[in-house]
């Protein structure tokens, strides 16, 4: 959730829990932190539908196959929710569970190919499980570390960097060297310089971080045709992640981490 100094809050379209490995917009509601398994299943299937809509590498699509082409989940004229319901009805529990990790195997009886959700693009498309360099694309543009980009306080720059990165990501996807889902940006608040990943973040200021993520995610996701996502961003991580590698004795006690959550009556949190 992005909150501004004037009290306005909004949720970017694709800020999601890494648990789901996909992109959902969930309102911040302490009473609803525990997702039902059905919601997780729907989330996984929405991700599958996204991958199918994207067409996969080299322009192919699972729905090009005659064995599934006429099924409702392949009909682009139907409402997305109806397509998802149809797809879910054709999946076994084993099928659904298999899709909850970042390395999702194929579902052969539905002609859904295997997919690797874990690709990285914090400041450029980067080598990661879903990205491979070589052949037609030996490298990609590497922008400065995020903490340096954010220090410019230039929101236009944040957006344009996202646009450049998503264009390269699309090109790599077209030749089968990258997916379209990226575990980026890192929006942890840089609370302590002893945390080893602070350079990945916009810094210690929540306001600047909010401004950065709004523009960068928009740059990653939206192209000339607003009907389609250019790539999919997944904001990371949960809010206490920035302290998880610091020895407990240096953060006093675990209560120092948990107090903000308990004070706000949040019943469950993963740190």
Domain ranges of the chain: 2-237
Asked if residue 112 lies in contact with residue 106, where contact means CB atoms within 8 angstroms, the answer is yes
Entry pTM:
0.73
| Rg of the Cα atoms in the chain | 19
Tokens of 49: 């539908």
**What is the per-residue pLDDT across 211-259, written as a single tens digit (0 to 9) for each?**
999 999 999 999 988 878 999 999 998 666 766 555 655 554 455 556 6
**What is the per-residue pLDDT across 85-138, written as a single tens digit (0 to 9) for each?**
999 999 999 999 999 889 999 999 999 999 999 999 999 999 999 999 999 999
d(CA 12, CA 10): 7
């Amino acid at each position: 959730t992005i909150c501004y100094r004037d009290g306005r809050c909004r949720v970017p379209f694709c800020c999601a829990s890494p648990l789901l490995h996909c992109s959902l917009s969930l309102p911040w509601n302490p009473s609803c932190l525990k997702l039902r398994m059905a919601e997780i299943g729907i989330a996984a299937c929405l991700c599958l539908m996204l991958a199918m809509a994207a067409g996969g590498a080299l322009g192919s699509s699972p729905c090009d196959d005659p064995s599934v082409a006429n099924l409702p989940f392949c009909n682009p004229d139907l409402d997305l929710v109806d397509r998802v319901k149809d797809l879910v009805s054709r999946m076994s529990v084993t099928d659904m569970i298999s899709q909850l990790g970042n390395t999702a195997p194929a579902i052969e009886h539905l002609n859904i190919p295997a997919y690797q959700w874990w690709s990285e693009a914090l400041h450029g498309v980067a080598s990661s499980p879903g990205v491979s360099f070589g052949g037609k694309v030996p490298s990609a543009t590497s922008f400065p570390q995020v903490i340096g980009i954010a220090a410019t306080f230039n929101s236009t720059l944040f957006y344009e960097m996202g646009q450049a990165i998503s264009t390269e990501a699309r090109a790599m996807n077209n030749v089968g060297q990258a997916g379209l889902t990226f575990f980026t940006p890192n929006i942890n608040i840089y609370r302590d310089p002893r945390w080893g990943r602070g350079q990945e973040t916009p810094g210690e200021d929540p306001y600047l971080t909010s401004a950065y993520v709004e523009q960068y995610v928009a740059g990653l996701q939206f192209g000339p045709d607003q009907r389609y996502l250019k790539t999919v961003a997944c904001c990371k991580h949960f809010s206490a992640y920035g302290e998880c590698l610091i020895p407990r004795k240096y953060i006093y006690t675990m209560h120092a981490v948990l107090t903000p959550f308990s004070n706000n009556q949040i019943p469950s949190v993963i740190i």
